[in-house]
């Protein structure tokens, strides 16, 4: 009966839920590390908007600012970026105390969004509504999820339901540029017995996310006139770095075939692979390339994390493979290619044997019988929560394929449905006081 009351309240107050989402969308919160107008950058105003809303609901709140120096002990771990600054970029933490005797839950999401981008047909910060569709940068990634989790708690409160366990809200900064916000939140000691990150999953349940590595394979050649006969490279003859890069690329076909078996997961639709995204080489049309760079994206599974929660083991696997390729070619053996690592975004997993998984999947299937369990192929902020022992799942409204695109948008029915599912999870997980 409690759940039906909550669902009815959300249906009857769809307008209020839409207003909250629109308020958040109309406040630009572009991560400062993207190239965009200065007036659009920073998360502070959006965080204060949400802070005011949840304080009216009875939450005790706190704004705190990540600080690279205060987090120096984490410098080799996931999320740490020593050059990131956080002026007017606070994390928001709120707590609504329960009656006691129940389990606590943390509802989390990131308030920063990516750059505005181009080719919008709607103002990206006007929260335009056309029928049941709301447009705006961050509508899917991920202010829609933040608003849904907030409205779920409000519905429970407005229905007069008293929870046994505490409800905590933690909205973070900087996810789109490395995740230092979540690191700072965890470092301050905030914990719960379970956590929902409302990243867009299209209402599927994602109990894991993959780690992401970016790197460059750098190949040095020897310049020379491209139209003339080449001397032996040992005598100073030209070596085409493009040819050598292509030689390396060919070997990665077998590497990915192996990973298709060894880096697969039952809850992921595709296995981890190394995908080459950029190729830069050469200086002039009549000169053999003396330098080539192959930029790649490699994914890894939570089971492959190293002692720092990152992809150190996978980095070594890739480095060893490139070294083995070089050993098969006389020039590359004498002039080994090197790898420059650019990014290492961490990952996490909550196993389907855990109670939190069982509660969330049961509540989801009651309301969304067609929903599936499918891990997130991209990065989310769940890694640090899992690292400190908090079972965490990703569950939120919106199609992730719309993230970072022009005309990013969310559908109101799915947004409200998500609020209902989260409310159901809160009720079952935290418990209701009689």
Residue 350: asked if its preceding bond is cis (omega within 30°), the reply is no
What's the order of all strands across the beta sheet hosting 392-394?
60-64, 91-96, 167-172, 105-110, 195-197, 392-394
Give the H/E segment covering residue 389. Answer: none
- List, in order of start, the domains of the chain with CATH numbers: 2-209+347-430 (3.40.630.10), 211-343 (3.30.70.360)
The fraction of the chain above a pLDDT of 90, given in percent, is 99
Residue whose token pair is 């996931």: 78
Q: What band does 2 get if pLDDT is binned at 50, 70 and 90?
A: confident
Residue whose token pair is 């919008």: 120
pTM score above 0.85: yes
Q: What band does 317 get if pLDDT is binned at 50, 70 and 90?
A: very high
pLDDT tens digits, one per residue of 200-243: 999 999 999 999 999 999 999 999 999 999 999 999 999 999 99
How far is Cα 167 from Cα 216, in angstroms, rounded to an integer?
43
Long-range contacts of 330-333 (CB under 8 A, 24+ apart): 331/233, 331/239, 331/244, 332/219, 332/244, 332/247, 332/248
pLDDT tens digits, one per residue of 373-423: 999 999 999 999 999 999 999 999 999 999 999 999 999 999 999 999 999
Q: What band does 178 get if pLDDT is binned at 50, 70 and 90?
A: confident
Dihedral sign, CA of 107, 112, 118, 122?
positive
Residue 178 near residue 345 (C-beta atoms within 8 A): yes
Record the tokens describing residue 21, joined without a space: 């989402």
DSSP letter for 172, please. E
Q: How many Å separate Cα 140 from the centre of its chain?
A: 12
pLDDT of residue 154: 98
Q: Can you tell me whether residue 62 is helix, strand or coil?
A: strand
Residue 322 near residue 245 (C-beta atoms within 8 A): no
CA-closest candidate to residue 391, choices 432, 348, 427? 348
How far is Cα 291 from Cα 288, in angstroms, rounded to an integer?
9
pLDDT of residue 1: 56
pLDDT tens digits, one per residue of 114-156: 999 999 999 999 999 999 999 999 999 999 999 999 999 999 9
Residues annotated as catalytic are 112, 175
């Amino acid at each position: 009966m409690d759940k039906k009351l909550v669902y009815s309240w959300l249906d009857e107050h769809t307008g209020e839920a839409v207003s909250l989402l629109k308020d958040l969308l109309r406040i630009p919160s572009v991560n400062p590390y993207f190239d965009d107008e200065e007036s659009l950058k920073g998360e502070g105003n959006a965080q204060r908007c949400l802070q005011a809303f949840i304080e009216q609901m009875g939450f005790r709140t706190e704004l705190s600012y990540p600080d690279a120096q205060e987090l120096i002990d984490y410098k080799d771990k996931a999320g740490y970026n020593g050059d990131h600054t956080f002026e007017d970029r606070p994390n928001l933490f709120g707590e609504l105390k329960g009656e006691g005797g129940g389990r606590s839950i943390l509802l989390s999401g990131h308030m920063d969004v990516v750059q505005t981008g181009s080719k919008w047909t709607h103002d990206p910060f006007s929260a335009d509504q056309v029928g049941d569709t709301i447009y705006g940068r961050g509508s899917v990634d991920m202010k829609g999820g933040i608003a849904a989790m907030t409205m779920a708690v409000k519905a429970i409160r407005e229905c007069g339901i008293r929870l046994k366990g505490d409800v905590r809200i933690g909205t973070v900064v900087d996810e789109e540029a490395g995740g230092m916000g979540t690191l700072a939140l965890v470092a301050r000691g905030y914990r719960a017995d379970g956590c929902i990150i409302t990243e867009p999953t299209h209402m599927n349940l994602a109990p894991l996310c993959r780690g992401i590595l970016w790197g460059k394979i750098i190949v040095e050649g020897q310049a020379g006139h491209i139209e003339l006969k080449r001397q032996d490279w040992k005598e100073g003859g030209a070596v085409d770095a493009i040819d050598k890069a292509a030689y390396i690329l060919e070997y990665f076909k077998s590497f990915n075939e192996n990973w298709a078996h060894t880096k697969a997961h039952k809850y992921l639709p595709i296995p981890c692979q190394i995908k080459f995204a950029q190729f830069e080489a050469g200086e002039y049309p009549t000169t053999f390339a003396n330098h080539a760079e192959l930029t790649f994206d490699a994914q890894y599974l939570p089971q492959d994390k190293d002692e720092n929660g990152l992809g150190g083991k996978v980095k070594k696997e890739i480095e060893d493979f490139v070294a083995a390729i070089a050993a098969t070619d006389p020039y590359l053996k004498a002039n080994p290619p090197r790898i420059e690592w650019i990014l290492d975004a961490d990952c996490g997993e909550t196993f389907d044997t855990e109670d939190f998984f069982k509660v969330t999947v049961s509540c989801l299937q009651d309301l969304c019988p067609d929903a599936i369990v499918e891990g997130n192929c991209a990065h989310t902020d769940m890694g640090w929560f899992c690292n400190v022992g908090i079972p965490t799942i990703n569950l939120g409204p919106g199609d992730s394929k719309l993230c970072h695109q022009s005309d990013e948008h969310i559908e109101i029915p799915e947004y409200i449905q998500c609020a209902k599912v989260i409310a159901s999870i809160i009720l079952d997980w935290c418990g209701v006081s009689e």
